[in-house]
């Protein structure tokens, strides 16, 4: 992590606002890294989650199995999961175990909402599409997914907000992002400087949450077809 | 000569986990250009039967022929693009505009964009919706009746020879339903598609069907014939029960005034002098007591008696009684009866297309004709039903 450009003498008396104004660039950089790792994990888990949702929504057993397994993922404490993944030889420490852990945590809401969205499409609409000679995949991509999309995107939104917080803990395996500030703050817990660091990390995570949420707020009406708004 | 468009041969459908088959050994021919209505109580397998035709449900055994070609094993998606499909819930795609909805099948068939645009406009016109106004709307912006029209337009988009319609007007209020039925019959009289129409409503079946198949459980055909014959001569108790108690009344809708022998009355022109009129009354073979006054185009105007004529103070134009019950000769007996009830008359004056006097029809003629009107009133039907044909010989019916 970048060292705050402060001498040890200065560190002891620094306030949160002083810290932020002097280290703005670093905090911004860490926020960007944090956002990137969340975005990468969400992209991967959306691809996997929507895919698994599509593959399993018609089959009750497959659906239940997938939802139960991904449900178990969510119960694993993130600290333990990071440690576990970091100990896998070819992963090691850094961004990789964090992305994998975040992807695992993001799966359940996305799969769940994909399944719910697809099952919620009016069966009469699907039947008339089939009756008009639309094949399985055309039906899925032209009719079912666009109609299920508002529900699917809500799942992605929930997952995103969920993993923004979890990503902060990625710093324990040297993952990138605002967690570095929080961890460093924890190491200096007895000094006001520690508080400033932790606060900067905290505020950054919350700000990122608001930013992502706003992004979805803008993105949703843009991607939901006009006729079903 | 009409050809067989659809032939079902020994069709059986057994759903897994059910002891009784939903459809068992069904064989039937559906002629080109006809509306065949499958009607029966719920659970009789009529919808299953219809879905076997476009293979939304695959038959357990048996074969289906479309235009003489066995389609039981052909590519179902390609088959369905040649068969229009309309269901009760309509199933318009809510995220697509009316244009995109109707363009769905032509696009799958890779029509030129230009041709698609022309076709969509043509279809919207046909179902009575102004293309520029509705093309770019979404289904939720339309009323139920308009959605149903778009559903029909969408099913017709690629000009399929066959249409399957599953209770298409079932979810629509009665007034709109009646209008849509009439509109659809008008469209059908132009496009002459082969239509398989499913309903549980016998009145709708009688109205829409060129031919009706009354089905009982397992899609067994109880009777398959033109509506007139089914009404006049139900094959068994099941059919009789299904038609219900109103059958005799419904039958009047298939007999036409012009096929009856009309009664004649003495007539005179309304501007003749009174002596001519009196002579006309007295000259009449059977002195019926009444004289019908016609105007210069032979349209019925007033009924007068000899006594009215002798009352010199009233002008001829105001003598006697106004003619109230008038029916055109192409009307059905149901129309005639309705007119009599409406005007509280025991008979009605029959006029031709120009409104000129043809004769009169009596209440008792309508009621006695009701018994065998279906057989006698429509000579074309007589051959379809030999038993009934024997009884034609017509009392008040023309030979």
A95: CATH: 1.10.3720.10
pLDDT value of residue A162: 94
Chain-chain contact of B93 with A134 (C-beta, under 8 angstroms): no
CB–CB of B80 and A138 under 8 A? Answer: no
Cα separation of A154 and B222, whole Å? 53
Among the partner residues A127, A130, A228, nearest to B95 by beta-carbon distance: A228
Instruction: Look at residue B390 and tell me whether its pLDDT is greater than 70.
Output: no
Chain A residues with beta carbon closer than 8 angstroms to that of B87:
124, 127-128, 131
Buried b (16+ CB within 10 A) or exposed e, B170-179: bebeeeebee
In this prediction, residue B288 has a pLDDT band, given cuts at 50, 70 and 90, of low
Q: Please state, in angstroms and rounded to a whole number, the distance separating the CA atoms of residues A204 and A202.
A: 5
Q: Whole domain around residue A137: which residue ranges? A: 24-228
Q: What is the pLDDT of residue A2?
A: 54
DSSP state of A140: I
DSSP one-letter code for B316? G
| ipTM given for this complex | 0.82
Residue A61 has pLDDT above 60, yes or no: yes
Residues B56-99 have pLDDT tens digits of 999 999 999 999 999 998 999 999 999 999 998 889 999 999 99
**Which residues face B38 on adjacent strands?**
B198, B213
Q: What are the chain A neighbours of B81 within 8 Å (beta carbons)? A: 132-133
Q: Which one is predicted more confidently, A157 or B321?
A: A157
> Could you tell me which residue, B378 or B291, shows the higher pLDDT?
B291
- Rg for chain A, CA atoms, rounded: 21
Locate the chain A residue with the closest alpha carbon to B103. A132
Percent of chain B's residues with pLDDT above 90: 51
Higher-confidence residue of B293 and A16: namely B293
Q: Does A89 touch chain B (CB under 8 A)?
A: no
Give B91-134 pLDDT, tens digit per residue. Answer: 999 999 999 999 999 999 999 999 999 999 999 999 999 999 99
More confident residue, A126 or B390: A126
Average pLDDT of the residues in B193-203 = 93
Average pLDDT over residues B276-300: 79
Closest residue to B108, CB basis, from A124, A133, A227:
A133
Does residue A108 sit within a domain?
yes
Pick the more confident residue, B182 or A192.
Answer: B182
**Inter-chain residue contact B93 with A226, CB threshold 8 Å:** no
| A128 reaches B (C-beta below 8 A) | yes
Is A3 a domain residue? no
Nearest residue to B369 (alpha-carbon basis) of B336, B395, B388, B337: B395
pLDDT category at A125 given cuts 50, 70, 90 is very high
d(CA B365, CA B255): 12
- Say whether pLDDT at B387 is over 70: no
Minimum distance, in Å, between the CA of residue A142 and any CA atom of chain B? 10
Mutate to test the interface with A, among B48, B53, B77, B151 (most CBs of A within 10 A): B77
Cβ contact, residue pair A122, B108, below 8 Å = no
In a domain, A4, yes or no: no
The answer to whether residue A113 scores a pLDDT higher than 70 is yes
Q: Is the pLDDT of residue A41 over 90?
A: yes
Is A11 inside any structural domain? no
Q: Is the pLDDT of residue A51 over 60?
A: yes
- What are the pLDDT digits (tens) for B348-380? 899 988 888 988 888 877 777 655 444 443 333
**Domain assignment present for A169:** yes
Return the bridge partners of B224, or none: B213
Can you give the pLDDT at residue B331?
87
Average pLDDT over all residues of chain B: 85
Record: contact A131-B164, CB cut-off 8 A: yes
* pLDDT tens, residue by residue, B214-241: 999 999 999 999 998 998 889 999 998 8
Q: Is the pLDDT of residue B52 over 90?
A: yes
Write down the pTM of the prediction: 0.75
Q: Does some domain include residue A135?
A: yes
pLDDT, greater one: A24 or B80 = B80
Domain count along chain A: 1
Q: Does pLDDT of B389 surpass 70?
A: no
Residue A6 lies in a domain: no
Mutant choice from A131, A134, A145, A228 vs B, greatest count of B C-beta within 10 A = A131
Q: What angle do CA A73, A79, A81 make, to 5 degrees?
A: 40
pLDDT-based confidence at A10, cuts 50/70/90? low
Q: Is A14 contained in some domain?
A: no
């Amino acid at each position: 992590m970048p060292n705050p450009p402060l001498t040890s003498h200065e560190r002891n008396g620094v306030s949160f606002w002083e810290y932020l104004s002097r280290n703005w660039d670093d905090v911004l950089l860490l926020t960007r890294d944090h956002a990137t790792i969340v975005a990468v994990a969400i992209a991967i888990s959306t691809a996997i989650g929507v895919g698994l949702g599509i593959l399993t929504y018609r089959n009750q057993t497959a659906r239940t199995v997938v939802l139960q397994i991904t449900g178990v993922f969510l119960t694993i404490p993130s600290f333990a999961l990071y440690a576990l993944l970091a100990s896998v030889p070819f992963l090691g420490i850094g961004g990789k175990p964090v992305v994998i852990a975040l992807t695992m945590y993001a799966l359940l809401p996305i799969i769940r909402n994909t399944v719910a969205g697809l099952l919620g499409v009016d069966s009469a609409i699907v039947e008339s599409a089939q009756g008009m000679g639309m094949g399985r995949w055309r039906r899925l991509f032209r009719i079912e997914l666009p109609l299920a999309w508002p529900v699917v995107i809500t799942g992605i939104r929930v997952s995103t907000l969920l993993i923004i917080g979890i990503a902060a803990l990625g710093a324990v395996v040297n993952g990138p992002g605002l967690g570095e500030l929080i961890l460093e703050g924890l190491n200096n817990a007895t000094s006001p400087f520690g508080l400033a660091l932790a606060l900067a990390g905290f505020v950054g995570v919350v700000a990122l949450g608001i930013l992502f949420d706003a992004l979805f707020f803008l993105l949703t009406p843009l991607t939901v077809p006009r006729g079903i708004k | 000569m009409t050809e067989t468009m659809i032939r079902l041969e020994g069709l059986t459908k057994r759903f897994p986990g059910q002891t009784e088959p939903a459809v068992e050994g069904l064989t039937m021919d559906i002629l080109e250009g006809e509306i065949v209505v499958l009607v029966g109580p719920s659970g009789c397998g009529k919808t299953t039967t219809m879905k076997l035709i476009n293979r939304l449900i695959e038959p357990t055994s048996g074969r289906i022929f479309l235009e003489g070609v066995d389609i039981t094993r052909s590519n179902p998606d390609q088959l369905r693009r040649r068969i229009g499909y309309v269901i009760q819930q309509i199933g318009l795609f809510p995220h697509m505009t009316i244009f995109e909805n109707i363009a769905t099948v032509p696009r799958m068939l890779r029509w030129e964009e230009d041709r698609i645009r022309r076709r969509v406009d043509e279809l919207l016109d046909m179902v009575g919706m102004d293309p520029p106004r509705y093309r770019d709307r979404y289904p939720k912006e339309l009323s139920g009746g308009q959605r149903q029209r778009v559903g029909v337009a969408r099913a017709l988009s690629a000009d399929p020879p066959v249409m399957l319609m599953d209770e298409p007007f079932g979810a629509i209020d009665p007034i709109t339903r009646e209008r849509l039925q009439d509109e659809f019959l008008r469209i059908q009289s132009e496009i002459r598609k082969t239509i398989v129409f499913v309903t549980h409503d016998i009145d709708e079946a009688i109205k829409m069907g060129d031919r009706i198949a009354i089905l009982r459980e397992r899609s067994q055909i109880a009777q398959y014939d033109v509506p007139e014959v089914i009404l006049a001569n139900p094959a068994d108790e099941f059919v009789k029960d299904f038609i219900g108690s109103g059958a005799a009344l419904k039958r009047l809708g298939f007999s036409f005034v012009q096929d009856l022998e009309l009664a004649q009355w003495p007539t005179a022109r309304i501007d003749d002098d009174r002596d001519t009129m009196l002579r006309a009354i007295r000259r009449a073979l059977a002195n019926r007591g009444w004289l019908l006054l016609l105007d210069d185009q032979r349209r019925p105007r007033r009924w007068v008696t000899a006594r009215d004529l002798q009352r010199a103070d009233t002008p001829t134009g105001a003598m006697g009684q106004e003619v109230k019950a008038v029916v055109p000769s192409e009307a059905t007996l149901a129309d005639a009866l309705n007119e009599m009830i409406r005007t509280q008359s025991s008979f009605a004056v029959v006029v031709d297309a120009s409104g000129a006097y043809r004769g009169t029809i009596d209440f008792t003629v309508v009621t006695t004709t009701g018994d065998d009107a279906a057989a006698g009133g429509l000579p074309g039907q007589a051959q379809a039903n030999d038993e009934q044909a024997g009884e034609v010989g017509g009392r008040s019916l023309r030979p």
